[in-house]
């Protein structure tokens, strides 16, 4: 790697980090406003997450006396860094040089990286020495294990279909960007993809710890669970990691199921900058639509599940639907 390439990679990484942070907080604010309107409340302003982060950054950073300081302070940094790293593997609209880290098996790598923010929260909760955080950490581990089945089934289904067609690098998101999965299946596979899309939409609130899958926090039961002992800068970093992860999981669904750009429907050849701007705006709209249906609408419609219900929903219901979707895609590949 020469100096120019290294410089561009570093600049791109900083740009993607800023995009993830700003867009994540902005989308969090929009989610809160939409939820308030749907409940006939005024709600906070869209900028409220930015105000909250600014306040937390200047507040005292308290470390419990019985905590493990290096792990307690390091876990929020690890969660934020890993969430930002995932962004580097996900295509963002039709922009050049994106994703920054384009590996042939990047979809498999993303599945592993998605575990790290949750594991960092588990480590931070266990290191705090709080019994509430310990319960929250146990619940977080159970939730992570539960939603891995529908997530893995979706990845396998996509790779199976691409491999059956002889497409090179079936685990690459860049491949899916050039060959949208909906254009490669017949009626049977189309039904399977609808089931996989439904399961992925409901994986998002589990990934983000949102209602109804927020049993690891459950303020009314375990006083905040994982984050009960966190304050100040550390709490802000965890909040920022969840904001970035919001962009990560919604971008992943867009990259898998809706990879089209605005210029695929309305060609803009007169001005490259106008085309890039239209694609970016279209990408943000897709993220917002996915956020609404996977987070806002779900948490307004359903009350919090017990941890046993979380496992039942992900393994028995969504797991079964994802496997059926996988089978339908496999059958479609044989037709």
Q: What is the pLDDT of residues 160-196, one digit of tens each?
A: 888 887 787 788 887 787 878 888 888 888 999 999 9
Q: Are 266 and 164 in contact (CB under 8 A)?
A: no
Cα distance between the two ends of the chain: 45
Helices (H) and strands (E) in the chain, counts: 15, 0
pLDDT band per the 50, 70, 90 thresholds, residue 295: confident
| Window from 7-21, 94-108, 227-241, 315-329 with minimum mean pLDDT | 94-108
What gap in Å lies between CA 267 and CA 138, rounded to an integer?
51
Whether 104 shows a pLDDT value over 70: the answer reads no
Q: What is the pLDDT of residues 114-158, one digit of tens each?
A: 888 888 888 888 888 788 888 888 888 888 888 888 888 888 888
Question: Mean pLDDT across the stretch 257-271?
Answer: 80
- pTM for the whole structure: 0.88
pLDDT score at 95: 58
Helix (H), strand (E) at residue 325: helix 319-334
Q: Which domain holds residue 278?
A: 3-334
What gap in Å lies between CA 289 and CA 301, rounded to an integer?
17
pLDDT score at 156: 87
pLDDT score at 191: 92
Angle at 105 between CA 311 and CA 116, to 5 degrees: 45
pLDDT band per the 50, 70, 90 thresholds, residue 98: low
Whether 1 shows a pLDDT value over 60: the answer reads no
Q: Tell me, what DSSP letter sits at residue 316?
A: I
pLDDT score at 222: 67
pLDDT band per the 50, 70, 90 thresholds, residue 221: low
Which residue's structure tokens are 């384009």? 102
Question: Would you state the structure tokens that stand for residue 273, as one six-digit string?
Answer: 């900058």
Please give the share of the chain, as a percent, with pLDDT higher than 90: 17
pLDDT band per the 50, 70, 90 thresholds, residue 94: low
pLDDT band per the 50, 70, 90 thresholds, residue 23: very high
Burial of 207 from C-beta contacts in 10 A (0-12 / 13-18 / 19+):
buried
Whether 97 shows a pLDDT value over 60: the answer reads no
Q: How many structural domains does the chain have?
A: 1
């Amino acid at each position: 790697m020469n100096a120019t390439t290294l410089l561009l990679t570093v600049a791109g990484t900083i740009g993607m980090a800023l995009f993830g942070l700003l867009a994540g907080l902005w989308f969090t604010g929009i989610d809160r406003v939409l939820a308030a309107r749907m409940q006939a409340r005024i709600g906070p302003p869209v900028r409220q997450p930015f105000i909250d982060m600014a306040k937390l950054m200047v507040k005292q950073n308290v470390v419990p006396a019985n905590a493990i300081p290096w792990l307690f302070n390091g876990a929020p940094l690890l969660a934020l860094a890993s969430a930002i790293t995932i962004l580097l593997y996900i295509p963002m609209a039709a922009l050049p040089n994106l994703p920054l880290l384009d590996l042939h098996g990047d979809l498999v790598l993303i599945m592993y990286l998605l575990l790290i923010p949750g594991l960092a929260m588990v480590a931070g909760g266990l290191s705090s020495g709080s019994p509430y955080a310990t319960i929250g950490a146990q619940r977080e581990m159970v939730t992570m294990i539960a939603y891995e089945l529908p997530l893995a089934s979706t990845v396998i289904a996509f790779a199976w279909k691409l491999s059956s067609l002889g497409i090179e690098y079936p685990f690459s998101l860049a491949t899916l960007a050039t060959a949208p999965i909906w254009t490669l299946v017949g009626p049977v596979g189309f039904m399977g993809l609808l089931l996989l899309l439904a399961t992925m939409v409901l994986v998002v609130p589990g990934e983000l710890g949102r209602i109804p899958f927020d049993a690891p926090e459950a303020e009314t039961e375990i006083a905040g669970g994982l984050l009960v002992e966190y304050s100040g800068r550390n709490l802000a970093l965890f909040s920022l990691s969840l904001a970035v992860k919001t962009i990560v999981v919604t971008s992943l669904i867009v990259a898998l199921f809706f990879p089209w750009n605005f210029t695929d429907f309305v060609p803009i050849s007169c001005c490259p900058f106008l085309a890039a701007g239209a694609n970016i705006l279209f990408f943000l709209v897709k993220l917002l639509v996915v956020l609404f249906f996977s987070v806002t609408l779900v948490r307004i419609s359903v009350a919090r599940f017990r941890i046993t219900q979380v496992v039942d929903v992900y393994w028995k219901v969504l797991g079964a639907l994802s496997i059926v979707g996988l089978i339908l895609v496999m059958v479609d590949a044989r037709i």
